[in-house]
Amino acid sequence: MAATATAELETVSLSNGLTCEVPSDSPLGKLLKSQRTWVGPNAKERLKLLRNAKSVAIVGASPNAARASYFVGTYLQQSSPYRVYFVNPMAETILGQKAYPDLASLPEVPDIVDVFRKGSDIPGVIDEVVAVGAKNVWVQLGIWNQDAAVYGESKGLTVVMDRCIKIEHARFNGGLHLLGFDTGQITARKTIR
């Protein structure tokens, strides 16, 4: 089961150097999607990232049960081994846990920062990630900002973008398979799923 971000906007770099945002599922958005050049970590690298992580902070987490971040938060709390933190300056508690105003307030440096913010906010989030010393930023499904991804990598971060951390964790841990989705996983080794 997937979870897309609340803000589904594609940041478009125009030839005159300006940028604008269009809905990522509009015809223009889809065309631009087909013209992407930045490629993030492959399945094996994403699996390694998820296996090595112990903690995840969700930036842009929402206390609203109908929002995608709520689905991801519930899944990570209950179906993953991670220590999960919620970051939202407007919320007191989310899913029974304290919500933090920013990454710097967390009790530890999270291994993965999972982001539910619109494309144009991503560079600012990356600066915050770098400032606290986290190493991996995961930009959720439906959010794309290629320049920000390149910028994050230039700062030494591993960047995953336009993917859902819930789907990717479930792809390697059986959840996706349980609902009949193709995981792309083929192995003759005993595997938790």
Partner 1 sequence: MADREYGFRTRAIHAGNIPDQVTGARALPIYQTSAFVFDDTADAAARFALQKYGNIYSRLANPTVAAFEERVASLEGGIGAVATASGLSAQFVTFASLAGAGDHIVASANLYGGSITQLDVTLRRFGVETTFVQGSDPADYAAAIKDNTKLVFAETIANPSGEIADIEGLAEVAHAHHLPLIIDSTIATPYLNRPLEWGADVVIHSATKFLGGHGTTLGGVVVEGGRFHWANENFPKFDEPTPTYGGLNWHGIFGEYAFLTRLRAEQLRDIGPTLSPHSAWLLAQGVETLPFRIQAHVDNARIVAEWLDADPRIEFVNWAGLPGHAHHERAKKYLPKGPGSVFSFGVRGGREVGQKFIESVDLASHLANIGDAKTLIIHPASTTHAQLSEQQLVEAGVLPGLVRLSVGIEDPEDIVYDLDQALTAATKGN
As measured in angstroms, the least distance from the Cβ of 21 to partner 1 is 18
Strands 55-59 and 83-87, by their bridges, are parallel
Question: Do 53 and 111 form a contact (C-beta atoms < 8 A)?
Answer: yes
Tokens of 174: 């059986």
Strands 9-13 and 19-23, by their bridges, are antiparallel
**60 part of the interface to partner 1, by CB under 8 A:** no
Candidates 32, 57, 68, 157; binder of partner 1 (CB under 8 A) is 68
Tokens of 150: 């390149």
How many residues lie near partner 1 (CB under 8 A)? 45
**Of 20 and 178, which has the nearer Cβ to partner 1?**
178
For residues 42 and 7, what is the distance between their CA atoms, to the nearest angstrom? 24
As measured in angstroms, the least distance from the Cβ of 23 to partner 1 is 10
For residues 24 and 30, what is the distance between their CA atoms, to the nearest angstrom? 6
- Give, in order, the Cα–Cα distances in Å from 81 to each of 4, 53, 63, 146, 151: 22, 9, 21, 30, 30
As measured in angstroms, the least distance from the Cβ of 32 to partner 1 is 15
Q: Which of residues 81-140 bind partner 1 (CB under 8 A)?
A: none
Q: Write the interaction track for partner 1 spanning residues 34-53; mark x where CB under 8 A is met and - where it is not.
A: --------xxx--x------
**75 part of the interface to partner 1, by CB under 8 A:** yes
Q: Which of residues 171-190 bind partner 1 (CB under 8 A)?
A: 172, 174-190
Residue among 78, 62, 23, 44 nearest 184 (CA): 44
For residues 69 and 74, what is the distance between their CA atoms, to the nearest angstrom? 9
As measured in angstroms, the least distance from the Cβ of 45 to partner 1 is 9
**66 part of the interface to partner 1, by CB under 8 A:** yes
**141 part of the interface to partner 1, by CB under 8 A:** yes
Question: Do 132 and 104 form a contact (C-beta atoms < 8 A)?
Answer: yes
**158 part of the interface to partner 1, by CB under 8 A:** no
Give the footprint of partner 1 on this chain (CB under 8 A).
1-4, 6, 25, 42-44, 47, 65-66, 68, 70-71, 74-75, 78-79, 141-142, 164, 167, 170, 172, 174-193
